[in-house]
């Protein structure tokens, strides 16, 4: 999956590699707070127009394209917790809504940034600059 990331006031393309190994660390051992914005090419916007016009405000944000829509994410906090996501099944180590339309983009595209995976020792994802 390709991810555009704003770093040092520049737009950098990364390739997120790997697949979820269902370790569950991001679903049940950490509280993750994420900000999300959506823009659409249907309305004349694209990732470059959005970022170039407001580059300094997007520092640390990541953008993922899905069809005509761009999802913008920024992880604002990752903290250890004893709580788990209500959709996480600890027996199967699967998300109970992962297969449906209701699977939120916030979870579908996690992790969005190389720093997102640092607290998760078992995470199988990696990022590489293109």
pLDDT tens digits for the chain (130 residues)? 899 888 887 889 999 999 888 888 888 877 788 888 777 655 445 555 655 566 667 788 888 888 777 888 888 888 777 777 878 888 887 777 765 555 677 788 889 899 999 988 899 999 999 9
Q: Are 123 and 111 in contact (CB under 8 A)?
A: yes
Q: How far apart are CA 81 and CA 102, in angstroms?
A: 25
Q: How far apart are CA 23 and CA 28, in angstroms?
A: 10
Instruction: Indicate if the alpha-carbon torsion angle 82, 86, 91, 95 is positive or negative.
Output: negative
* pTM attached to this predicted model: 0.76
Enumerate the domain spans of the chain: 2-129
């Amino acid at each position: 999956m390709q991810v555009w990331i704003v770093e040092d006031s520049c737009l950098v393309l990364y390739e997120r590699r790997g697949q979820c190994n269902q370790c569950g660390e991001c679903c049940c051992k950490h509280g993750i707070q994420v900000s999300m914005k959506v823009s659409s090419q249907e309305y004349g916007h694209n990732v470059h127009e959005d970022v170039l016009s407001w580059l300094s405000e997007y520092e640390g944000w990541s953008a993922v394209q899905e069809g005509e829509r761009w999802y913008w994410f920024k992880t604002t906090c990752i903290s250890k917790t004893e709580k788990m996501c209500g959709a996480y099944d600890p027996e199967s180590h699967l998300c109970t809504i992962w297969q449906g339309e209701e699977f939120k983009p916030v979870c579908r595209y996690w992790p969005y940034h190389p720093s997102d995976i640092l607290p998760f020792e078992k995470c199988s994802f990696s990022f590489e600059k293109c």
